[in-house]
Amino acid sequence: MSQDGAVTRKPANMSWDEAAAVPHGALGALHFLRKAGVGPGKKVLINGAAGAVGIFAVQLAKHFGAEVTGVCKTDDLDLVRSLGADAVIDYTAEDFTKNGETYDVILDTPGTLTFAGCKASLTPLGRWSF
């Protein structure tokens, strides 16, 4: 598809079900980042940064001018860095809720966190979304 195109043909080697799922991650990430007011000067933490929604959330948050921290497993650290994350946290080695950092937005894409667990990692006007 061209950069300016809105519609393209489905690749022959892709099923209709697979094609229908393609925009899911991007649209989910875009919705949550817009609702949270992500933009220049915001610190954003994305839990699940290597997943279907997370990979788009990292790229979109950077595009919007935010400082992005991605949380993922060891095997995905390089991928998340390559997407533009300013920092990455390996959740198998570090609990971000205990490192003293605070964020304007915490986006929990896999839904594995709780607000109570993240509250201390949010700035006073911070937003938590899952």
- What is the pTM assigned to this prediction? 0.87
How many percent of the chain have pLDDT more than 70? Answer: 96
Taken in order of first residue, the domains within the chain and their CATH numbers are 25-129 (3.40.50.720)
pLDDT digits (tens, 9 = 90+) for 3-16: 676 677 888 999 99
Q: What is the mean pLDDT of the segment spanning 90-111?
A: 97
pLDDT of residue 124: 96
The residue-averaged pLDDT of 31-60 equals: 96
b/e for 14-48, b at 16 or more Cβ within 10 A?
Answer: eeeeeeeeeeebbebbbebbeebebeeebbbbbbb
Q: Is the pLDDT of residue 98 over 70?
A: yes
